Amino acid sequence: MAVLYRRVALIGIGLIASSMALAMRQQGLAGEITGHAKSPQTRATALELGLCDRVFDTAAAAVQGADLVVLAVPVGAMAALAAEIGPHLAPGVTVTDVGSVKQAVIDAVAPHIPEGVAFVPAHPLAGTEHSGPRAGFAALFQNRWCLLTPTEQSTPEATARLRALWEGMGSNVDEMDAPHHDLVLAVVSHTPHLIAYTMVGVADHLRRVSNSEVIKYSASGFRDFTRIAASDPTMWRDVFLTNREATLDILGRFTEELFALQRAIRMGDGDMLHAYFTRTRAIRRGIIEAGQDTAAPDFGRIAAGGPGKAGGR
């Protein structure tokens, strides 16, 4: 594939940025990759694994001479980094991010983007419960969606080139506005994560069932909650603090549905429960038909000999 960017600067070198580095290298999409992360340890790992050709102690130094800058840090860290790199961005550069929330990132980053620099927010719906530079793998974005949420600072050329980069890394790309993105993600990702965190917390607090029983019998369903609830605490704290309105909206609806099901159980209303579960089963079928998960029993764990890796975030 053709080189799309001469020099890509990765700000933050965790799961997402390291996967991007590996995918860009595999597909020949970037000439050179520079990087910056908070800790010297992560910077050293990025060199050791060949994720970056050069790493820098500051974000400002890492973006010098780059034609694409990727902000791949937790959402709450974006504003300070954008303020730091803003004065070092030359006209013609594209800045993008991979944050899981879009309107809050736009509010945090946009004021620091100078005239002549394009800002194209993006969110790859791909991830695992692992984090850090060693967690990345080149196939993470294969057949996963990447959502672009262009603003008035996104030129059509910059948006088209970033789309080509994500397609080159194996993603399908859609565009939507940031508020809609945040509502969609509250439904498909953010609220489900909160529910998983809650369920694992309930099991932890319940003293009538011992921890060893919970672990021993976890394959009955609990195990799938624990995978999601093992996700990075900093990232997810920031997601809920910054996608507050949409998450609270969906949580309110969730609570109403939960009460309806609770009432059906109490009243012995089997018809209601059966009809409800029939509708939800159809959604699962739709996900499989869209190629977003496997129809293999137990998510293919037994057939593949291990847990499936990629999941949307």
Residues that bind ligand NAP (CB under 6 A): 12-17, 37-39, 42, 72-75, 77, 81, 98-100, 123-124, 127, 131-132, 232, 235, 313
What's the min distance (Å) between Cβ of 190 and ligand NAP? 10
What's the min distance (Å) between Cβ of 218 and ligand NAP? 22
Nearer of residues 155 and 172 to ligand NAP, judged by Cβ: 172
Nearer of residues 11 and 203 to ligand NAP, judged by Cβ: 11
What's the min distance (Å) between Cβ of 63 and ligand NAP? 12
Helix (H) or strand (E) holding 9: strand 5-11
| Residue 233 amino acid letter | P
Angle at 215 between CA 209 and CA 313, to 5 degrees: 115
What's the min distance (Å) between Cβ of 260 and ligand NAP? 31
Nearer of residues 13 and 63 to ligand NAP, judged by Cβ: 13
- 47's CB contacts (< 8 A; 6+ apart) are 55
Nearer of residues 100 and 171 to ligand NAP, judged by Cβ: 100
- 287's CB contacts (< 8 A; 6+ apart) are 293
Contact 57, 38 (CB under 8 A): no
Contact 246, 182 (CB under 8 A): yes
Nearer of residues 74 and 170 to ligand NAP, judged by Cβ: 74
φ/ψ (deg, to 5) at 144: -105, 155
CA separation for the pair 275, 282 (Å, rounded): 11
